[in-house]
C-alpha cells in the first residue's frame, strides 16, 4: 500500500509514495485535477527511461499530454532553457485550465515548478520525482528556482505543487553516485530529528525504501508546515550546508551537493564535540553512516579555504550566521554566531 503524507500549507496537498506508482500516475492526478492538457516536463535522460509510461498512464486517465524535454544536468537550470520550456507550453496551447507535470530529478522539478508558476501567471503542477534527492527534498516544500550567472537558485518563486507522486522503483536506474547524493540528505533527516531513521539508513535495506522516503518526507513536511516561506525553522534543513556549500564552490561544483553536505554534517558534529556542544561519538557515527553508503567524509580543503568560500556566500547577511549543530543523533539546535567564528568551526571540524 502506498503511503500518503499530507502537507498542511496554505493550500494543502498530498505526497503519495510507493513502489510501482508510475504506471498509475494518471489516475492519481485525476483525483486532484479534471482531465485537461498536460505538459510533461522532463530531461532527456529521464524522458528516455520513463516518459512513455507516464504519457500512457496520463492519457488513459483522460488527459491530453505533450512532452517538453530539455538536456539533463544542472547546466540546463537557467533562464534560457526556461524560456524554451515556456515557449513550448504556449505552442502546446496550454491554458490556465491546464497543468504541468514535472517528471525528473531536482533540476526538472525546479524548472517545471518555476515555469508552471509564471506561465500565464501560474498554472497548477504535479511533481513526479525520479531521484532520491527529489523525492526526499526538492519535490516537497514549494521552492522553485533557476540558477543565474551570479549563483545557484537566485531566481525563483514559492509555489507548492498540486500533488507529489513518488514511485520508488525508478531509483533502480539511478547512477550510484546520484542515489548516494539523496542518501546523504536522507541521513540528514535522521541526524536532525530521528535516531531510528538514521540507523536504518546506516544499514540500508532497499526494500524498505518506500517507508524510509515517507519518513523523510514527513520530517521535511513538518519543517515546511512550520515555516512555509523559509523565514525561520526551515533553517534546520541547512544542517551541513554551510560547509557543504564551501566544498561545492571550492571544487568548482564538481563535488556533488549531497556528498558535500554529508562532509559538512561530519564537520559540524566534530566541531560541536570539541566545543562541548555535541555528544561525543556523534561525528564518528555520522561518518560511519556516510561511508557505509559510499559517501566521502572529508574534503581536501584547508579551514582557511572553507572559511573564505563561506564568507563569499554570507557577505550579504551581515554580522551573524545561523549554524545548525547536532546535539546528538536525532537532535540539533541552531546557534547564531558572528560570521568570523565560522573559521573556528572550519578549523575544529577538520580531522587533525
Ligand atoms: N527546490 C528545492 O527545495 C530543492 C532542494 C534541494 C535541491 N534542489 C535542486 O535539485 C537539483 C539537484 O537534484 P538532483 O540531484 O535530483 O539532480 P538532477 O535532476 O540533475 O538528476 C541527477 C541526474 O540523474 C538523472 N536521473 C534522474 N532520475 C533518474 C532515474 N530515475 N534514473 C536514471 N537517471 C535519472 C538526471 O537525468 C540527471 O542526470 C539542484 O538543482 C538543486 O538546486 C532543490
Ligand atoms: Zn541540500
Mutational test site, ligand 1, from 42, 44, 138, 209, max ligand atoms within 8 Å of CB: 138
Q: What is the mean pLDDT of residues 298-308?
A: 96
d(CA 190, CA 183): 11
**177-204+218-349, CATH topology level:** Dehydroquinate synthase-like, alpha domain (1.20.1090)
Collapsed DSSP state (helix, strand, coil) of residue 143: strand
Residue 315 has pLDDT above 70, yes or no: no
CATH topology identical between 3-174 and 177-204+218-349: no
Q: What is the mean pLDDT of residues 284-306?
A: 97
Q: Which of 255, 239, 249 is nearest to 151 (CA)?
A: 249
CA 298 to chain centre: 22
Average pLDDT, the chain: 96
pLDDT at residue number 237? 98
Q: How far is the CA of 271 from the centre of ligand 1 (A)?
A: 30
Collapsed DSSP state (helix, strand, coil) of residue 66: strand
Q: How far is the CA of 259 from the centre of ligand 2 (A)?
A: 10
pLDDT at residue number 312? 76
pLDDT at residue number 140? 97
Residue 278 in grid coordinates: 555535541
Q: What is the mean pLDDT of residues 252-280?
A: 97
Domains of the chain, by residue range, sit at 3-174, 177-204+218-349
252, with CB counted inside 10 A (0-12, 13-18, 19+), is: exposed
d(CA 86, CA 82): 6
d(CA 2, CA 15): 10
pLDDT at residue number 313? 64
d(CA 214, CA 96): 31
pLDDT at residue number 316? 53
Residues with CB under 6 A from ligand 1: 43, 45-46, 49, 72-74, 77, 104-108, 110, 130-131, 133-134, 137-138, 141, 143, 152-153, 170, 173-174, 178, 181
What beta strand segments (E) does the chain contain?
3-7, 13-18, 37-43, 64-70, 99-104, 125-129, 143-148, 151-158, 163-167, 320-328, 331-338
Q: What is the mean pLDDT of residues 201-206?
A: 92
% of the chain with per-residue pLDDT over 70: 98
**3-174, CATH topology level:** Rossmann fold (3.40.50)
Q: What is the mean pLDDT of residues 293-314?
A: 91
Q: What is the mean pLDDT of residues 106-121?
A: 98
User: 36-91 pLDDT, tens per residue?
Assistant: 999 999 999 999 999 999 999 999 999 999 999 999 999 999 999 999 999 999 99
Confidence of residue 317 (pLDDT cuts 50, 70, 90): low
Confidence of residue 203 (pLDDT cuts 50, 70, 90): confident
Residue 314 has pLDDT above 70, yes or no: no
**Nearest protein CA to atom 41 of ligand 1, as residue:** 107
pLDDT at residue number 72? 98
pLDDT at residue number 57? 98
pLDDT at residue number 245? 95
d(CA 98, CA 180): 35
Confidence of residue 319 (pLDDT cuts 50, 70, 90): confident
Q: How far is the CA of 334 from the centre of ligand 1 (A)?
A: 28
Q: What is the mean pLDDT of residues 146-170?
A: 96
Residue indicated by cell numbers 515557449: 87
Q: How far is the CA of 221 from the centre of ligand 1 (A)?
A: 19
Collapsed DSSP state (helix, strand, coil) of residue 146: strand
- Comparing 119 with 312, the larger pLDDT belongs to 119
Residue 155 has pLDDT above 60, yes or no: yes
Amino acid at each position: 500500500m502506498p503511503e500518503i503524507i499530507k502537507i498542511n500549507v496554505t493550500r494543502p496537498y498530498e505526497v503519495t509514495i510507493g513502489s510501482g506508482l508510475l504506471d498509475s500516475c494518471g489516475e492519481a492526478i485525476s483525483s486532484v485535477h479534471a482531465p485537461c492538457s498536460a505538459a510533461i516536463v522532463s530531461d532527456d535522460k529521464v524522458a528516455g527511461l520513463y516518459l512513455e509510461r507516464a504519457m500512457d498512464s496520463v492519457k488513459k486517465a483522460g488527459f491530453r499530454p505533450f512532452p517538453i524535454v530539455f538536456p539533463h544536468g544542472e547546466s540546463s537550470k537557467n533562464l534560457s532553457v526556461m524560456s524554451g520550456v515556456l515557449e513550448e507550453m504556449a505552442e502546446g496551447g496550454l491554458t490556465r485550465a491546464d497543468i504541468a507535470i514535472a517528471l525528473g530529478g531536482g533540476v526538472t522539478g525546479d524548472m517545471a515548478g518555476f515555469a508552471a508558476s509564471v506561465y500565464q501567471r501560474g498554472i497548477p503542477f504535479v511533481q513526479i520525482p525520479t531521484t532520491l534527492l527529489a523525492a526526499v527534498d526538492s519535490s516537497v516544500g514549494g521552492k522553485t528556482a533557476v540558477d543565474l550567472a551570479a549563483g545557484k537558485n537566485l531566481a525563483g518563486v514559492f509555489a507548492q505543487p498540486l500533488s507529489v507522486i513518488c514511485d520508488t522503483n525508478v531509483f533502480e536506474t539511478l547512477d550510484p553516485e546520484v542515489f548516494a547524493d539523496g542518501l546523504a540528505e536522507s541521513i540528514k533527516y535522521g541526524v536532525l530529528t530521528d535516531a531510528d531513521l538514521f540507523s536504518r539508513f546506516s544499514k540500508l535495506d532497499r526494500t524498505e525504501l518506500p517507508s524510509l522516503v515517507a519518513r523523510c518526507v514527513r520530517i521535511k513536511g513538518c519543517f515546511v508546515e512550520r515555516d512555509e516561506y523559509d523565514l525561520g525553522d526551515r533553517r534546520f534543513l541547512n544542517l551541513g550546508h554551510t560547509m557543504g556549500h564551501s566544498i561545492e564552490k571550492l571544487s568548482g561544483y564538481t563535488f556533488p551537493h549531497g556528498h558535500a553536505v554529508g562532509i559538512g554534517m561530519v564537520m559540524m558534529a566534530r566541531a560541536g564535540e570539541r566545543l562541548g556542544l555535541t555528544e561525543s561519538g556523534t561525528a564518528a557515527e555520522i561518518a560511519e553512516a556516510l561511508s557505509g553508503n559510499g559517501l566521502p567524509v572529508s574534503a581536501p580543503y584547508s579551514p582557511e579555504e572553507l572559511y573564505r568560500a563561506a564568507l563569499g556566500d554570507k557577505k550579504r547577511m551581515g554580522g551573524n550566521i545561523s549554524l545548525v549543530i547536532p546535539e546528538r543523533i536525532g537532535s540539533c539546535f541552531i546557534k547564531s554566531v558572528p560570521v568570523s567564528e565560522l573559521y573556528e568551526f572550519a578549523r575544529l571540524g577538520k580531522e587533525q
